[in-house]
């Protein structure tokens, strides 16, 4: 089953799906896997597993710090893929790799994609690889039936959106605003209009990330997008209150105006 088909099947039971983000190896290998377990138990529908990189250009300070800490502890690509495989084999939700192109380029694009498929992963998000420069990667993803998740932003033109969507698979990641992850996003008419443009430009499900923090944000996205992406906020919470607190937070995202 293709990832987009899987997502649409899940959407028959829920009005919007939740996707979370884990930096593999942060704050430790054991704790990052415990975070994955906690998120799955809390009802997450998809998860992106980030292979740390020294210059994560699309990420804000919270995720950058997590990347740097994991690298300082010595986490490597092979260990990350091992952990991703364990997650994919253990839990019945789609898992994606998120990283930067230097990682598969140095590993070898075809071997990297082949390893993702062999380990049970469903696709990848590589935000610094323009599709025009990713022919080898995109061909390998197609060969191994993996979804190359590509990105729209508010500054992407309608023509460019159609070009990008023709090369994408699984879903489109719609960046909610300019800038990097972690900062606040204005959930406004401008965002609604932008998502309407995204919807007209492609037939794939739409995921929205950057700045989603609470159930009100997710309620705003219902009917406008198919997947809400939670990233920096769960890392902040884990750092402040521990892994166990992440489960309650995620469950609360399904509740309108939860008591604080």
Is 31 assigned a catalytic role? no
Give the pLDDT means over successive 10-residue stretches in the chain (260 positions): 94 96 95 96 97 85 91 96 98 97 97 98 96 96 98 95 97 75 60 95 95 89 95 90 93 63
Note if the pTM is more than 0.75.
yes
Q: Where are the alpha helices (DSSP H) in the chain?
A: 3-11, 29-41, 61-72, 77-90, 102-107, 109-118, 135-143, 158-165, 189-201, 215-221, 232-241, 244-252
Is 48 known to be catalytic? yes
Tokens representing 82 are 């091992």
- Tell me what pLDDT residue 61 has: 85
Domain tally for the chain?
Answer: 1
Query: Residue 183 falls within a domain, yes or no?
Result: yes
Name the residue among 55, 54, 66, 65 with its Cα closest to residue 25.
66
Cβ atoms of 175 and 209 within 8 Å: the answer is: yes
Distance separating alpha carbons of residues 165 and 157, to the nearest angstrom:
12
Q: Is residue 257 part of a domain?
A: no
Residue 20 covered by a domain: yes
- 258, part of any domain: no
State the catalytic residue, choosing from 48, 115, 217, 226: 48
CA dihedral 239, 47, 177, 53 (to 10 degrees): 70
Domain that residue 149 falls in: 3-252
Residue 7: which CATH number? 3.20.20.70
DSSP character at residue 184: -
d(CA 47, CA 30) in angstroms, rounded, equals 17
Evaluate whether residue 226 is within a structural domain: yes
Catalytic-role residue among 4, 6, 45, 59: 59
According to the model, what pLDDT value does residue 258 have?
A: 39
Q: Is the dihedral of CA 94, 95, 101, 107 positive or negative?
A: negative
Residue 210 counted as domain residue: yes
Let me know if residue 260 belongs to a domain: no
């Amino acid at each position: 089953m293709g990832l987009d088909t899987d997502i649409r099947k899940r959407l028959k039971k829920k009005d919007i799906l939740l996707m979370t983000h884990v930096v593999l190896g942060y704050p430790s290998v054991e704790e990052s896997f415990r975070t994955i377990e906690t998120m799955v138990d809390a009802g997450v529908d998809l998860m992106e597993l980030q292979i740390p990189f020294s210059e994560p250009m699309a990420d804000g300070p919270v995720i950058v710090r997590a990347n740097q800490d994991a690298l300082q502890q010595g986490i490597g690509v092979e260990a990350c893929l091992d952990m991703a495989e364990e997650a994919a084999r253990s839990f019945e939700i789609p898992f994606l790799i998120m990283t930067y192109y230097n990682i598969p380029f140095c590993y070898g694009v075809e071997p990297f994609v082949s390893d993702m498929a062999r380990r049970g992963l469903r696709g990848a998000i590589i935000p610094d690889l323009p599709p025009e420069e990713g022919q080898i990667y995109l061909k390998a993803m197609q060969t191994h039936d993996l979804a190359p998740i590509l990105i729209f932003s508010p500054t992407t033109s309608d023509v460019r959106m159609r070009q990008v969507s023709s090369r994408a698979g699984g879903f489109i990641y719609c960046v909610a605003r300019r800038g990097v992850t972690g900062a606040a996003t204005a959930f406004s008419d401008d965002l609604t209009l932008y998502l309407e443009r995204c919807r007209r430009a492609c037939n794939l499900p739409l995921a929205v990330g950057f700045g989603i923090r609470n159930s009100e944000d997710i309620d705003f996205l219902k009917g406008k997008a198919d997947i809400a992406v939670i990233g920096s906020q769960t890392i902040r919470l884990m750092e402040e209150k521990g892994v166990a607190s992440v489960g309650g937070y995620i469950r609360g995202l399904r509740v309108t105006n939860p008591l604080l």
